[in-house]
């Protein structure tokens, strides 16, 4: 009897701070038309290894750099590229993804997608998901340094930051265009780490 009481006491004491089991959280991984799109394969793999359900959404330009089949295989889920991928379901697939997402991560993000999000455009599934979701959004830019530093791009970035969108990168280095400077996609492992931080930020509860 005394032993059972002691066990219950220890159990209750351990519950003062509770960590919710991670389970499978849903990450929408947006991939846009940057040469760095090939790195999204490693990022998708890392997120799956971290125990999350990954749904890749690609722009049409992104499919010129990496195949949807590659990302479908690594994410273990269908890849969305157009609104016409959604014919098999009565409910718009992009809205379903927007609702179920615990995080929308766009990596790499071009100047074009950043401008679309800043101005609330929704001409393709990725932009529509970003507009409809209430999940945190994390953007990892990758582009020519002059494009990144252009006033228009910086204004768009500031608009998005003011709305709570988070950015990681870009970093300095040799760019695919031949220039060296700011504009390279941030380290993929660090992007995955930041994503994990955002997903787990509210996991601690005080019992």
What is the number of domains present in the chain?
1
Query: Does 20 have pLDDT greater than 50?
Result: no
CATH number of the domain bearing residue 36: 3.40.50.1950
Would residue 173 count as lying in a domain? Answer: yes
What is the Cα–Cα distance from 12 to 55, expressed in whole angstroms? Answer: 38
Identify whether 177 is a catalytic site residue.
yes
* H or E stretch at 176: none
Would residue 12 count as lying in a domain? Answer: no
What counts of helices (H) and strands (E) characterise the chain?
9, 9
Strands annotated E in 41-200: 53-58, 103-109, 137-141, 166-167, 171-174, 180-184
**Helix (H), strand (E), coil (C) string for 18-83:** EECCCCCCEEEEEECCCHHHHHHHHHHHHHHHCCCEEEEEECCHHHHCCCHHHHHHHHCCCCECCH
Would residue 131 count as lying in a domain? Answer: yes
* pLDDT tens figures, 36-83: 999 999 999 999 999 999 999 999 999 999 999 999 999 999 999 998
pLDDT band, residue 183 (cuts 50/70/90): confident
Would residue 112 count as lying in a domain? Answer: yes
Would residue 145 count as lying in a domain? Answer: yes
What is the Cα–Cα distance from 125 to 93, expressed in whole angstroms? Answer: 9
**Average pLDDT score over the chain:** 85
Per-residue confidence (pLDDT) for residue 68, from 0 to 100: 96
Per-residue confidence (pLDDT) for residue 13, from 0 to 100: 37
Would residue 68 count as lying in a domain? Answer: no
* pLDDT tens figures, 102-130: 999 999 999 999 999 999 999 999 999 99
Which SS3 state, helix, strand or coil, does residue 170 take? Answer: coil
Would residue 38 count as lying in a domain? Answer: yes
Q: Find the catalytic residue in 177, 181, 193, 200.
A: 177
Q: Give the domain extent around 173.
A: 31-59+80-206
Would residue 5 count as lying in a domain? Answer: no
pTM for this model (two decimals): 0.84
Residues in the chain: 207
């Amino acid at each position: 009897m005394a032993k059972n009481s002691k066990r219950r006491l220890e159990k209750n004491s351990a519950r003062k701070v509770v960590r919710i089991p991670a389970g499978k959280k849903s990450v929408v991984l947006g991939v846009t038309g940057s040469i760095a799109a090939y790195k999204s394969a490693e990022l998708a793999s890392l997120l799956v290894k971290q125990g999350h359900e990954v749904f890749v959404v690609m722009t049409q330009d992104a499919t010129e750099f990496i195949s949807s089949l590659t990302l479908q295989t690594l994410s273990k889920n269908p890849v969305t590229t157009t609104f016409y991928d959604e014919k098999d379901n009565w409910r718009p697939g992009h809205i379903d993804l927007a609702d179920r997402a615990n995080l929308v991560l766009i990596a790499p993000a071009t100047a074009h997608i950043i401008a679309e999000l800043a101005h609330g455009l929704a001409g393709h599934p990725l932009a529509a998901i970003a507009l409809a979701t209430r999940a945190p959004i994390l953007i990892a830019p990758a582009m020519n340094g002059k494009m990144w530093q252009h006033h228009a791009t910086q204004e768009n970035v500031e608009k998005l930051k003011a709305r709570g969108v988070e950015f990681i990168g870009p970093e300095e280095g040799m760019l695919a265009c031949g220039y060296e400077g700011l504009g390279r996609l941030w380290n993929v492992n660090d992007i995955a780490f930041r994503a994990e931080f955002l997903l787990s930020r509210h996991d601690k509860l005080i019992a």
